[in-house]
Every structure is written in C-alpha cells, then in structure tokens.
Chains A and B, each alone.
Chain A
C-alpha cells in the first residue's frame, strides 16, 4: 500500500473475469511492464527511474502473486489472449509495452495478436524462441535461488541482487517464488519456454517500433535467440550490453535506462 515515501501503489482490480494484482506508479505516458517467470520482483531502481516520465502499470500474470489463476489458460497464447482483455478493461490502448524474459515472450505474443494495441515495444532477454545455438536454461531442474542467480553475470557486483535474491529469503518470498514457478510451468513446460510458431508470427510487427535488449553473457536465454527476434521483426533494433547477464534492467541499470529512454522518446 502506498505510503508518503512511496511513489507506487498496489491494488486488486477486476479485469477479464478475475482479480488482477496491479502495481501502479509514476506519472506520464503509460508504460505496461510484463514481469518475468519469477513474478514481479518489487519496485526496483529501474522502475523508479522510468516512473519519472511514465505511469507504470505492472500487473501480475494469471496465477502469479495475488492474481487469480484462470484455470483454462494452458499456454502462453491463451495467456496473451486473456491479457488483451485485461488491457481493454484497464483502458490501456496504444500503450508502450515492456516485457522481461517470460514477460518478453508474452509481450511478443500479445503484440503479434494485436499490433494496433501497442505504440512501442521493449523486449528484455525475451524467452519464446528456440535459440539456434545454445539452449534456454531449465529453471525447473534447479531451485528458485539457483535459477535467479544464474540470471546474473556478476551477482556479487549487482547492488540490487541481494534485494531480489536474499541469502535468507522470508517464507513469504519463498512462497511467491514457488507460486511463480508453478505458473511458469503451466505456461512453458513443453515445449520449454518457446513456441515454434512465434518467429513467423512476429512478421506482423513490422510497423511496431521494437527495441530488443540483451545481456551479452545471458546464461538463461542465449543471445542467438535475440538475433532471431531482431531478424523477424522488421526495423527492430537489438542492443547488446557487455558484461551483463539475463537481467540488464537490474545488472546494468544505467545502460539499460539510457537505451530505453532514448527509444521511448524518439
């Protein structure tokens, strides 16, 4: 809940037939942020920075966090279709969209279904495409903390790492991770973290300005998948950040913000 020191608020809204947890903050043009496979990690520095010029909308996906699970959703395309109705109900149209990892895959699916709903799209290390070289790291064969750690090139050198992945997570944090893992499993168990048709469906995004951001040392989704994204979205830009893992928004916040702000302002 919002306090005087807080620039964001959290509420439960009714949308697309269920209760949706929505974090909202900042001021300016709306920016929809779709969280990754471990759920919304809390309000971080990059949120705070983006909130200076944007009103951030950060919903939790079906089943994640406090959002009610839609039992009928059995894959990412179901989720994407449902989410478009959530946007209808939130009154978001011609909105800027950012998706991170699994959320990036979701963003790509939503945009390919309904390009006209979005103004610009930022994909951050998105899953969704089978990398031509390398494999997407299997989050289900390791425990939550090991997976989160794998997402960073230099976790010890990342100031916010301890915030999102403390040495001694609280029981509440552990439970949120387990909920997220189960929901991620429901969306991505097989084929693991990708949809074979997606590269073809992306062709439809030729009129949607798209920025794809990737950590060069991403050990979750190999950079080769980023090249496929870039090649299949005509006019898109692939920005690769050096010495950076799967989460440039957290590991290289300044460089990430520079890229995103420039892209959104252009």
Chain B
C-alpha cells in the first residue's frame, strides 16, 4: 500500500470576516484579495512545508500537493513552486502532484520543463498527476471551459511526447502549436514520471485513466459511489484487455488522529470551520452556482455515481446550503471523516480499506481551522501507530500500491524504479 499525506493549505486568518464557524457566509467570486496578508501567508506557507518534512519523517510514502486559484481554501496557486522546494528539502517520500491543471496551461512546454526539473532535483521522486480543474480555475486563468477535456487530452499527449521523444519536433495540434520542441530538461525517471489522475465527477476522465492504465484517485467521495466508480475502472480495464487491481486505484479522505477521544473530536470539528471550502463537506461556505455550471466544463451527461455527492458538495443541485451544511456527525457516521485515537481510528480505516479496496490512500488532515500543533500531533501518532498498523492491514487484505504492482501490467514491480543518468 502507498500511504500519502494531504492538506489543502487553507489561508487561515482569524481576523477576516469569513474564517471560522461563525464567519460571514462567503461565495466564490465575491471575495476580494484586498484582505490577503502576505506576512501571515508567509508563515502559513512555511508551516505547511514544515509539516510535509515531518510527514516524511513519520513514514508517509507520499506528500501530496494540489492546486486551486483565486480562493482562500487552498494556497497552492502555483503548486510546482512548493513541489520544487520539497524536491530539495525532503529525501525519500514521493512528491505527488494531484495535480497540475492541464487544460489551463496555454504553454504546456513550461510544464514539461518544470516537472522535469522537479523530478531531477528530487532524484526521481515525482508523481505527476493531472486534473481538469474546477470552474474557478478556468475563470482565473481564463481558459475556455468548453475545451477543457480536449485541451486536457492534447496537453497530456504533448507533455508525454516532449518527455519521451528526442527533439526537436514540431507540434501542430488543435489547441497547442510549437515550431521547435526541444526542452533542455528531461525527466530523471524513465520513460517519464508516473502519471496519476484524481477526480470526482467525470466518467470520461475515469475511463480515460483506465484506458491509459493510469492510476485513478477518488477525492473525498462517499464509500458506496466510490466503490461503484472503481468497478467502472475495473470493467473498462477488462474491456481494454488488462487486469486492474488495487494498484490502479486510490482514495483520499479525512483522517485525524489525536491523543484523546475528546481532543480528537474537538480538533476533527475544525475540518468544517476554516475558510469556505466547497470540497470540505460540512463547511460553512457557499459556492457560486455559475462556477459549478461553467458551460461545457464537464459533460452534463457522462457523470460518475459520485457525481450527485460531488455536485451537491460543490454547490450544485437543489440544496446548496443544505448539502454544504452536511453535518460533521453524518460524515463521522459514514466514515468520510475518521477521527479519534489510534486505537479507535485503525479499525475504522480497516473498514474503509475492506470496502473500497484502494492500493493508494491519502489521509487528508491539518485542514480547515486546524493549527500547526493539531497537525503535528496527528502526524506523530500516525507515524508511531497508525501507518505501521495500516501497512499490516493492507498486506492482509492484499492491497498493493502502484510501486509494488505495475498498474499497466498487474505484475510485481522491480523495487528500484528505473531512472536516468546512464
């Protein structure tokens, strides 16, 4: 099993009117960055990097980063900058980017170069995920939402070709045009860094991942629809003539561990008390329905079983406030938040692993209104007790990760990944 750590890196400013459970309701596109404080943010950026170093020390296999734009709930507007720093200040863990928002890059050659540099500086520890991005990403970088899927696919093909094909070559596609592709930076890993795809909603994306034999990571969805979507991946793989397994699938959800049950509950409730985050169910924020509905961003018809949950959580559907107000207690009950001492948390994680059967997991922690101390207590207990126990459970349940069994072939991987430098 591959075990990773994730937080959205929220912009936590208790002085702002929109922070915390009693904060003013806010909506995407209605908040000005006038209230942004770079001094405060400097501390937060460094805090989140420090927590990543500690997560590696505590035994996590992967340090996950993501990216959003124009929003307080995720400070990673230029995730590759954080990844570059991690490449240098960490030693062992994979740097898992889930992911770069392919369609919003007008010049993906820059992506080719940046990711190659991160892979080299980290000595081959980059996992390069792609996402399609939400409406706020298309709006922020002003990229045609109706071409989101086309641009995603073309940019992927371009990046992989630029990573693997000796230059120079010309690229004349529908959305990207280059007269001389010959980047003087190439990936450390051969043929190129692993590519993963996280998602929530789109059937097109999940089936595309299965066809490409790319691991698919489901982000904070409920267990039953997640299981159904995973079955679609396995069915698609079978249609493609290969056998997929846990190594092809990942699941990210909220897990917080603490010293006592009382402290765990008090801290766990902070998940829903930070800056408005549509991805944190239970959060007080509201999402602009126009952003959810950006024309053509995702197919209106080809959606996954997780879509109803996701659309609602993003503020679509009928009851925006009702769904975003999905109570903490309900999330505890359905295991989309697991919170407690190691003793109570481990059996609940086991339930999730048995039911969903992922080979990759990410614990989403240290988010919302959680402080650095909250995050560090949990990381320590995860390292001391939870991660070792989960590794044993994964062995017993036969849940290999994508660095144990090759997602493309279902065959055991060589323990040392092939790298460049020959």
Contact = CB atoms under 8 A, between A and B. Distances in A.
Interface of A: 140-143, 146, 178, 181-182, 184-186, 189-190
A145 to B, nearest CB: 10
A141 B29 contact: yes
B146 A185 contact: yes
Interface in B137-162: 139, 142, 144-146
A185 B290 contact: no
Contacts, number: 38
Contacts of A142: 290
Nearest to A178: B300
A140 B294 contact: yes
A189 B139 contact: no
Given A140-B295, A184-B295, 19 more contacts: A140-B139, A140-B290, A141-B288, A141-B290, A141-B291, A142-B290, A143-B289, A143-B290, A178-B300, A181-B293, A185-B144, A185-B146, A186-B144, A186-B296, A189-B142, A189-B144, A189-B145, A189-B146, A190-B144
Contacts of A146: 290
A69 to B, nearest CB: 10
**Consensus secondary structure, chain B interface:** loop
Contacts of B139: 140-141
Interface in B115-147: 139, 142, 144-146
B60 to A, nearest CB: 39
Nearest to A175: B300
B293 A178 contact: yes
B65 to A, nearest CB: 28
Q: Report the 6 A-B pairs with minimum CB-CB distance, sorted nearest first.
A: A182-B295, A185-B295, A181-B295, A182-B296, A189-B144, A185-B146
A190 B300 CA distance: 22
Nearest to B145: A185
B172 to A, nearest CB: 15
Interface core residue of B139, B288, B290 (most chain A CB under 10 Å) = B290
Nearest to A142: B290
Interface string B290-304: 110111100010000
A142 B27 CA distance: 12
Contacts of B142: 189-190
Nearest to B292: A143
